[in-house]
Amino acid sequence: MKITRIRLWHVPLTSHAAYYMSDGKTCDTVETVVIGVDTDTGLTGWGEVCPIPHYLPAYARGVAPTLAELAPVLIGADPVGPEALMAQADRWLQGHVYAKSALDMALWDLTGQVAGLPLYTLLGGRRSADMPLYHSITCIAPDDMARIAREALNQGMTQFQVKLGASGDWQTDAERLRAVRAAVGDGPLVYGDWNCGATSLDATRVGRAVEHLDVMLEQPCPTFEECARVRAATGLPMKMDELAQDTASLLQAHQMGLMDAVALKLSKFGGLSATRRARDLCLHLGAKMCIEDTWGSDLTTAALLHLGAATEPGRVMNVCDLSGYVGPRLAPDGPVRKAGRIAPPEGVGLGVSPDLDLLGTPDLILD
Ligand SMILES: [Mg+2]
């Protein structure tokens, strides 16, 4: 089998509700990138990456030039067995892992289609029927966040990520955690996420104000050293997110005692292949994992669900139904949440493919 052509589309995804984070960051309409890797057999592998430029050093319009640079390696190559071709791509062009994430996803999709198997089988075999989701709560007034948490709880959600830092004062952040903790009662997992937007002083004041509560803190500050100060001063469990992007950063976070939990986002590591390697390291290090991506729709969501379903269930803290937060759906028949949980698609490969009418004419064709 040979790759004959790569097509690329830019599709704006709009959040059902504008989403507020620390430092004035918002997530309203974000462009996602869809790629179709066509082959001489007539099969097409699909990939998606949706970077958030103010969240990580990645942007949607960076994907097309990256793939154009890689075209001499890709066109004519055998796409089956993704890691071999991804290694060639890495030798040709270092870095640009977010763009490579969409490519790697499409190669896995093709490999699954050729094998006639869903990706969770190729990634090691299905370990769970479905997986728990977390519900991310936009950073607004504490009472409104508590209401959102209660509504999600009533629909079966048991894990709540409380966005912090948007109002710029530590007291309201402490109130946000208290309000959501009280709204969902004992049992559900509640964690406060600053997205790097706090100083260690403010995050420590918040943590100490709620230290009697069952809460976890997520990536309060932009550096490991600052996060370690917060961990030491509050005694609260810590989840890493933005800083977790490769094996070296995972090892450092572990050595500094910061990895009770960690977010493994596909596009930060470079796709399913690289994130599977990170997953294996996290199994060794003892971290609970959130398997997800920065943002995206049905292709990204399907990919992360396959990796989640092929991971030891006791170590999957949660996954994310990104496609449920945005519109339009790229694949309207993609998985949806049911009672706080979600299952991977059952079809071969990714098990979902995009609505071609929605995509329209490609913005780029490489052949
Ligand atoms: Mg986070």
Domain CATH code at residue 183? 3.20.20.120
What are the strands, taking DSSP E only, across the chain? Answer: 3-20, 26-39, 44-49, 131-132, 135-137, 159-163, 189-193, 216-218, 238-240, 261-265, 288-292, 316-319, 326-327, 341-342, 364-366
Are 64 and 36 within one domain?
Answer: yes
Query: Using an 8 Å Cβ cutoff, are 29 and 50 in contact?
Result: no
Instruction: Give me the numbers of helices (H) and strands (E) for the chain, helices first please.
Output: 13, 15
Q: Is 178 exposed, middle or buried (0-12, 13-18, 19+ CB in 10 A)?
A: middle
The DSSP 8-state label assigned to residue 198 in this structure reads S
Task: Identify whether 82 is part of a domain.
Answer: yes
Whether residues 97 and 160 fall in one domain = no
User: Does residue 234 share a domain with residue 180?
Assistant: yes
Domain that holds residue 75: 3-116+355-366
Give the domain CATH number at 55.
3.30.390.10
Single out the catalytic residue among 163, 239, 268, 288: 163
Catalytic annotation, pick one of 25, 239, 265, 268: 265
Separation of CA 238 and ligand 1 centre (Å): 11
| pTM (two decimals) | 0.96
Helices marked H in 286-346:
298-309
Query: 350 lies in a domain?
Result: no
The pLDDT profile of the chain, 367 residues, written as one tens digit per residue, is 999 999 999 999 999 887 788 777 777 899 999 999 999 999 999 999 999 988 888 999 999 999 999 999 999 999 999 999 999 999 999 999 999 999 999 999 999 999 999 999 999 999 999 999 999 999 999 999 999 999 999 999 999 999 999 998 999 999 999 999 999 999 999 999 999 999 999 999 999 999 999 999 999 999 999 999 999 999 999 999 999 999 999 999 999 999 999 999 999 999 999 999 999 999 999 999 999 999 999 999 999 999 999 999 999 999 999 999 999 999 999 999 999 999 999 999 999 999 999 999 999 999 9
The confidence score (pLDDT) of residue 28 equals: 85
Residue with the two structure tokens 């609260």: 236
CA angle 330, 331, 334 (to 5 degrees): 130
Q: Is residue 50 part of a domain?
A: yes
The alpha carbon of 54 and the centre of ligand 1 are apart by a number of angstroms equal to 13
Token pair of 169 as six digits: 């004062």
40 and 178 within one domain? no
| Domain identity same for 147 and 67 | no
Residue 100: active-site member: no
Look at residue 349 and tell me if it is in a domain: no
Cα 261 to Cα 286: distance, rounded to the nearest angstrom: 9
What's the CA-to-centroid distance between 119 and ligand 1, angstroms? 26
The span from the CA of 300 to the CA of 354, in Å, is: 11
Q: How far apart are the CA of 242 and the centre of ligand 1, in A?
A: 7
Whether residues 206 and 315 fall in one domain: yes
CA dihedral for 90, 94, 96, 97, sign (positive or negative): positive
User: What's the 348 CA to ligand 1 centre distance in angstroms?
Assistant: 31
User: Are 65 and 158 members of one domain?
Assistant: no
Identify the pLDDT of residue 353.
Answer: 96
User: Which pLDDT tens digit goes with each residue over 317-326?
Assistant: 999 999 999 9
Whole-number Å distance, alpha carbon 72 to ligand 1 midpoint, is 36
Q: Beta strand 159-163 with 135-137: parallel, antiparallel or unpaired?
A: parallel
Query: Are 82 and 222 members of one domain?
Result: no
Whether residues 244 and 109 share a domain: the answer is: no
Q: Do residue 126 and residue 110 come from a single domain?
A: no
First to last CA, the chain: 15
- Residue in the block written with tokens 């309201």: 172
> Is 338 tagged catalytic?
no
Q: Are residues 159 and 263 in the same domain?
A: yes
Domain count within the chain? 2
On whether both 135 and 149 belong to a single domain, the answer is: yes
Find tokens 């969240």 and name the residue: 55
